[in-house]
Amino acid sequence: MSSLFLRTLREDPADADVPSHRLLVRAGYIRRVAPGGYAWLPLGLRVLRNVERVVREEMDAIGAQEIQFPALLPREPYEATGRWTEYGPNIFRIKDRKGADYLLGPTHEELFTLTVKGEYSSYKDYPVILYQIQAKYRDEERPRAGILRGREFLMKDSYSFDLDDDGLSRSYLLHRDAYIRIFDRVGLRYVIVHAMSGAMGGSASEEFLAESEVGEDTFVRCPESGFAANVEAVTTPAPPAQPIEGKPDAQVHHTPSTPTIESLVDFLNAANLGRTFTAADTLKNVMVKIRQPGEDKWELLGVGVPGDREVDMKRLAASLSPAEVALLDDADFEANPFLVKGYIGPGALAANGVRYLVDPRVVTGTAWVTGADRADHHVVDLVCGRDFTPDGTVEAAEVREGDPSPDGAGVLVAARGIEIGHIFQLGRKYADAFTLDALGPDSKPIRITMGSYGIGVSRLVAAIAEQHHDDLGLVWPREVSPFDVHVVTAGKDDAVRGGAEELAAELDTAGIAVLLDDRPASPGVKFADAELVGVPTILVVGRGLAKGVVEVKDRATGERTEVPVEDAVRHLTALVRG
């Protein structure tokens, strides 16, 4: 430590608001050099390399082959798939000295597809899984939390190429298992959540979320069944249809001054209609417009959700993907005067040929209070299947704690997580864009089906730090710790120093990575730094040496064990080798 390029800080950095950021800076693992850009100092780089090694070992173990693309990529392939435009301001774009367009790769689907197309031609060549571990770039609007969300970050991205859907499923499961092993080895608590694919298009998709209060991803899970999902991927169980017969007729009511659901419910309950209404009895119709990929024209769409829930635009967007969705503006309302703001009902939509999708809870026979398509008027007891017929259902209503789990096992609770991995059945989107075919046994082309799979390698370091720290500092899991043993001398006499150096040398010979604190600092400073740096095992060489003992301290538990000097190397080697 006397020569290590490391200076720990006593104060928290001003710009750090999450524990991993604070501690990784204080303990000298990383330094900020630009917004969302960090330098890895020696300790940090050792942790990063350890994580990278675990990822590489597990990828190699499933037969994935490592290659490496440039980060600076030409525009054309991304133009071909539409991603050049779709990414908007989220990618870094560059013009070279000749004015040609380039980008800094966010992910490399296009290049992998083109490369496989360049090398492989026969069905006998497949399947293949390729990966790289490489700096990736995204021009995040708000880089935050140090290396948790940076603009340059290390990522493992892999891509599978299969002849058919069964093959894709196998490649997907291979990755799923590899990811489980990786995250287990680096000591993370995580959940695997069903995820919607968003802009990437495709079918099955799961995210690995490290549970953490500072995570940006919200998810829900069912404690009873272990079900976990992105809110975008939660499906709402439909209640059974109800008989229509016997329902009262629909009646239009004059409902002045009821601009909100709350005021409407209050009005109705004050109107003595013979029963009590709640917000859940109302049907709120939200108007949006959608545009299919490649189309210019926007189409109107009505979305009906129970009035006690907001429309969750992320859920709605995920449901309607790959179509683009936007709220109506004033011009849209002016152009469609049949839309009476605040009083829109299914009637006007049907009469004007506007598609109308409803929450899955809106089943045949359910009766609703909703807009009557006239200012200051609502209709009561509008029955689905009798008075209106939706064009289908849509997952648009917000998901709340206490909602039933889609698997029927219990109710959902909310949680937060850090996205550390994403596995994803792309299907044929990229193979279609670049005509990636294999020549089949019958000499007919077989369109290849793909998967893409990512792990945020540098983000993993932050996620591990979030889950493994205490008030004193970092507490690394053994597999990723920058060193195996941190040797601290307590006392300045030559015997102590000599003894510590000798033990460090013996450990080194035994293949143990040792950090020796040989600085002429006080024991207090050294102990504080050892706690901050977070190597899992601390060997204290101090006064006990005269009696032939040293102390082994477990960083995580604080437990101290006296060990005879002559047993120290054997004891520590056993600890490290686990």
Contact residues for its own copies, defined by CB under 8 A: 3-7, 28, 31, 33-35, 37-42, 45, 48, 63, 65-74, 89-90, 92-94, 96-97, 100, 102, 104, 111, 114-115, 118-120, 128, 130, 135, 137, 139, 141, 151-152
How far apart CA 491 and CA 505 sit, in angstroms, is 19
Nearest approach in angstroms of CB 115 to its own copies is: 6
Nearest approach in angstroms of CB 71 to its own copies is: 6
Nearest to 215 by CA among 235, 249, 188, 238: 188
Nearest approach in angstroms of CB 448 to its own copies is: 14
How far apart CA 314 and CA 396 sit, in angstroms, is 8
C-beta of 115 vs 278, nearer to its own copies: 115
C-beta of 135 vs 241, nearer to its own copies: 135
C-beta of 128 vs 475, nearer to its own copies: 128
Q: Is 149 helix (H, G, I), strand (E, B) or coil?
A: strand
C-beta of 5 vs 337, nearer to its own copies: 5
Nearest to 232 by CA among 119, 289, 317: 317
How far apart CA 310 and CA 394 sit, in angstroms, is 14
DSSP string over 527-563: HHHHHHH--SEEEEESGGGGGTEEEEEETTT--EEEE
Surface-to-core class of residue 389, CB atoms within 10 Å of its CB (0-12 exposed, 13-18 middle, 19+ buried):
exposed
Nearest approach in angstroms of CB 508 to its own copies is: 13
Residue 282 backbone phi and psi in degrees, to 5 = -95, 155
- CA-CA-CA-CA torsion sign (501, 502, 503, 506): positive
Nearest approach in angstroms of CB 372 to its own copies is: 45
C-beta of 281 vs 484, nearer to its own copies: 484
Residue 489 backbone phi and psi in degrees, to 5 = -95, 130
How far apart CA 134 and CA 158 sit, in angstroms, is 11
**The one-letter amino acid at 191:** V
How far apart CA 293 and CA 82 sit, in angstroms, is 10
For the chain, the distance separating the N- and C-terminal CA atoms, rounded to the nearest angstrom, is 26
C-beta of 141 vs 559, nearer to its own copies: 141
What number of residues does the chain have? Answer: 578
Angstrom CA distances, 14 to 7, 9, 33, 57, 394, stand at 17, 12, 15, 38, 45
Q: Is 413 helix (H, G, I), strand (E, B) or coil?
A: strand
C-beta of 29 vs 183, nearer to its own copies: 29
C-beta of 170 vs 377, nearer to its own copies: 170
| Tokens matching residue 363 | 């089943």
Nearest approach in angstroms of CB 483 to its own copies is: 14
Surface-to-core class of residue 127, CB atoms within 10 Å of its CB (0-12 exposed, 13-18 middle, 19+ buried):
middle
- CA-CA-CA-CA torsion sign (462, 468, 474, 476): negative
Nearest approach in angstroms of CB 314 to its own copies is: 21
C-beta of 121 vs 292, nearer to its own copies: 121
Nearest to 75 by CA among 107, 93, 109, 101: 101
How far apart CA 119 and CA 135 sit, in angstroms, is 25
**The one-letter amino acid at 340:** V
Nearest approach in angstroms of CB 509 to its own copies is: 17
Bridge partners of residue 89, in order along the sequence:
none
Nearest approach in angstroms of CB 415 to its own copies is: 31
C-beta of 71 vs 273, nearer to its own copies: 71
C-beta of 124 vs 570, nearer to its own copies: 124
Nearest approach in angstroms of CB 12 to its own copies is: 16
DSSP class of 232: G
Angle (nearest 5°) at CA 502 between 497 and 547: 65
C-beta of 5 vs 270, nearer to its own copies: 5
Strands 299-306, 355-358: pairing is parallel
How far apart CA 347 and CA 324 sit, in angstroms, is 25
Contact (Cβ atoms closer than 8 angstroms) between residue 104 and residue 94? yes
C-beta of 2 vs 272, nearer to its own copies: 2
Nearest approach in angstroms of CB 239 to its own copies is: 45
Nearest approach in angstroms of CB 22 to its own copies is: 17
Nearest approach in angstroms of CB 95 to its own copies is: 8
Beta strand segments in 111-232, E: 128-137, 152-162, 190-194, 205-211, 217-221, 228-230
Nearest approach in angstroms of CB 465 to its own copies is: 17
C-beta of 141 vs 334, nearer to its own copies: 141
